[in-house]
Amino acid sequence: DAGITQSPRHKVTETGTPVTLRCHQTENHRYMYWYRQDPGHGLRLIHYSYGVKDTDKGEVSDGYSVSRSKTEDFLLTLESATSSQTSVYFCAISGGQRNNEQFFGPGTRLTVL
Amino acid sequence: QQPVQSPQAVILREGEDAVINCSSSKALYSVHWYRQKHGEAPVFLMILLKGGEQKGHEKISASFNEKKQQSSLYLTASQLSYSGTYFCGTDTGTASKLTFGTGTRLQVTL
């Protein structure tokens, strides 16, 4: 299995509070991704990174920010959590070549009350 | 825009075959297929590249029609372990990122 972990695995928070999710990899892969998964929507890309300090928006980036200061860590921050951000969040990594698969972390279940 | 998958759900008896389709409105460079079991992370199955190259699972096959921007995943002689939700992810070649479909839920019964 690819060395990818997410923390925390579960979190319950209140509307308006800041939340940071962490993705950590030991594979030295260049690309890292944050997705959210909601019933009926599949996996939707929030942000991705193609190198240290190099990030770009995905299709559902509003309300989220990311940072990557080291190859192995990719942080997702909800500056002021809303109930619509209740979801399961998956981090994924990839070598970045066109024929490279993405490896997914175990996921973080976030509930915003 | 997310690719469209069909069917949305299918129930099979063990040993039966199934086909899952993925269709995009955009020109594609590659199509990825993943399977997710309940409560778990998605797991890679296959990549189909423009030009015909394939990479992935030994017991699952797939096709990629570049002209129609369509891909199909073929599950033959299904096993109970094939149960799960199948996602296609499409790459338009403009960046190393995928757009996933909404998934096809497959249930294999005895």
Question: How many other C-beta atoms can be found within 10 angstroms of the C-beta atom of residue B77?
Answer: 10
A72 within 8 A of A26, measured Cβ to Cβ: yes
Kindly indicate the confidence band of residue A61, based on its pLDDT and cuts at 50, 70 and 90. Answer: very high
Helix (H/G/I), strand (E/B), else coil: A83:
helix
Q: Does B42 touch chain A (CB under 8 A)?
A: yes
Q: Does A102 touch chain B (CB under 8 A)?
A: yes
- Nearest residue in A to B44, CA atom: A101
Whether the predicted pLDDT of B109 surpasses 70:
yes
Kindly indicate the confidence band of residue A6, based on its pLDDT and cuts at 50, 70 and 90. Answer: very high
Provide the percentage of residues in chain A whose pLDDT is more than 90.
Answer: 89
Kindly indicate the confidence band of residue A113, based on its pLDDT and cuts at 50, 70 and 90. Answer: very high
- Is A31 within 8 Å of B96 when comparing Cβ atoms? yes
At residue B45, φ and ψ (nearest 5 deg) are -115, -55
Quick one: average pLDDT of A23-43?
94
Residues in chain A: 113
pLDDT confidence of residue B17 = 93
- Is A98 within 8 Å of B53 when comparing Cβ atoms? no
A94 within 8 A of A7, measured Cβ to Cβ: no
Chain B residues with CB-CB distance to A40 below 8 A = 102
Kindly indicate the confidence band of residue B4, based on its pLDDT and cuts at 50, 70 and 90. Answer: very high
Q: Does A63 touch chain B (CB under 8 A)?
A: no
From the list B44, B93, B100, which residue is nearest A43 (CB)? Answer: B100
How many beta-carbon contacts under 8 Å exist across A and B?
A: 62
Q: Does B103 touch chain A (CB under 8 A)?
A: yes
Q: What does the DSSP 8-state code read for residue B3?
A: P
pLDDT confidence of residue B59 = 73
Look at the alpha carbons of A65, A70, A74, A78 in this order and tell me if their dihedral is positive or negative. Answer: negative
Environment class of residue A4 by beta-carbon count within 10 Å: exposed (0-12), middle (13-18) or buried (19+)? buried
Peptide bond between residue B7 and the one before it cis (omega within 30 degrees of 0)? yes
Which tokens hold the place of B49? 């590249």
pLDDT confidence of residue B51 = 76
Angle CA(B103)–CA(A44)–CA(A32) in degrees, nearest 5? Answer: 115
A81 within 8 A of A17, measured Cβ to Cβ: yes
Whether the predicted pLDDT of A29 surpasses 80:
yes
From the list A90, A98, A107, which residue is nearest B49 (CB)? Answer: A98
Chain A residues with CB-CB distance to B93 below 8 A = 98
Question: How many other C-beta atoms can be found within 10 angstroms of the C-beta atom of residue A101?
Answer: 22
pLDDT confidence of residue A90 = 98
